[in-house]
Structure 1
Amino acid sequence: MATDQPITSYSAFLRALLSDRERFFEEVVDGVALGSKLRDAVVTIITLSGFFGLVAGAYSGPAQAVSAAVKLPFLFFATFGVCFPAFFVVQVLVGSRLRLLQVAVLVFGALALTCVLLAAFVPITAFFLVTGANYYFQHLLNIVLAGVAGLFGMYALHEGLSVVCEKRGVYPRKALTIMRAWALLFGFVGIQLAWTLRPFLGDRNEPFRVFGTYRGNFYAAIIYAVNQLMQGDAKPAALPAKHDSLARFRGLPFSPIDTVADSSHHRERQ
Structure 2
Amino acid sequence: MANASGLLVIERILRDRQGIWQQVVEDRALSKLTGQMLLSSVVALACYGAVLGSFHSILMALTSAVKLPLLFLVTLAICLPTLYLFNLVFGARLSVRQSVALVMVALTVTAMLAVAFAPIALFFLITAPDYSFFKLLNVAILALSALVGLRFLTGGMRVLNDHGLLAPEKKETPAPAPAPAAAPAPEPAFVGAVNGATTPAAAPAPAAAPAVITVADLPPGYMVTRAPAQPFPRPLPARQPAPPSMTLLYVWILLFGFVGTQLAWTLRPFFGSPGMKFSLYRDIDGNFYAEIFRTLSHLF
TM-score range, shorter chain: 0.7 to 0.9
How far does the alpha carbon of each residue in 1:26-79 deviate from its partner, in whole angstroms, 9 at most, with x for none?
Answer: 111112211111111110121001100001110001011011100000001110
Asked if 1:202 corresponds to 2:272, the answer is: yes
Higher helix share: 1
Match of residue 228 from structure 1: 298
CA–CA distance in structure 1, aligned partners of residues 16 and 268 of structure 2: 36
Select which of 215, 229, 239 maps to 2:285: 215
How far does the alpha carbon of each residue in 1:67-96 deviate from its partner, in whole angstroms, 9 at most, with x for none?
Answer: 110000000111011111111011011111
CA–CA distance in structure 1, aligned partners of residues 166 and 281 of structure 2: 41
Higher strand share: 2
Select which of 262, 268, 280 maps to 1:192: 262
CA–CA distance in structure 2, aligned partners of residues 227 and 202 of structure 1: 19
CA contact (8 A) 2:55 2:272 kept: yes
Asked if 1:27 corresponds to 2:27, the answer is: no
Identity %: 35
How far does the alpha carbon of each residue in 1:86-125 deviate from its partner, in whole angstroms, 9 at most, with x for none?
Answer: 1101101111111101110110111011001111110111
Compare 8-17 and 125-134 and name the one that shifted more: 8-17
Query: How do residues 70-109 of structure 1 correspond to structure 2 at under 5 angstroms?
Result: 70-109=66-105
Structure number with greater Rg is: 2
Compute the TM-score of the two structures, normalised by the length of structure 2.
Answer: 0.72
Select which of 165, 171, 192 maps to 1:170: 165
Offset of residue 12 of structure 1: 5.6
CA, structure 1 residues 214+81, in 2 after alignment: closer, same or farther (shift >3 Å)? closer
Match of residue 203 from structure 2: none
Query: What runs of 5+ residues in structure 1 fail to find an aligned partner?
Result: 231-270
Offset of residue 14 of structure 1: 1.8
CA, structure 1 residues 82+214, in 2 after alignment: closer, same or farther (shift >3 Å)? closer
Asked if 1:131 corresponds to 2:127, the answer is: yes
Computed over aligned residues only, the root mean square deviation of the Cα atoms, in angstroms, reads: 1.4
Compute the TM-score of the two structures, normalised by the length of structure 1.
Answer: 0.80
Question: What secondary structure is seen at the aligned counterpart in 1 of 2:271?
Answer: coil
Select which of 253, 258, 272 maps to 1:183: 253
Query: What runs of 5+ residues in structure 2 fail to find an aligned partner?
Result: 168-242
Question: What secondary structure is seen at the aligned counterpart in 1 of 2:55?
Answer: helix
Offset of residue 215 of structure 1: 3.1
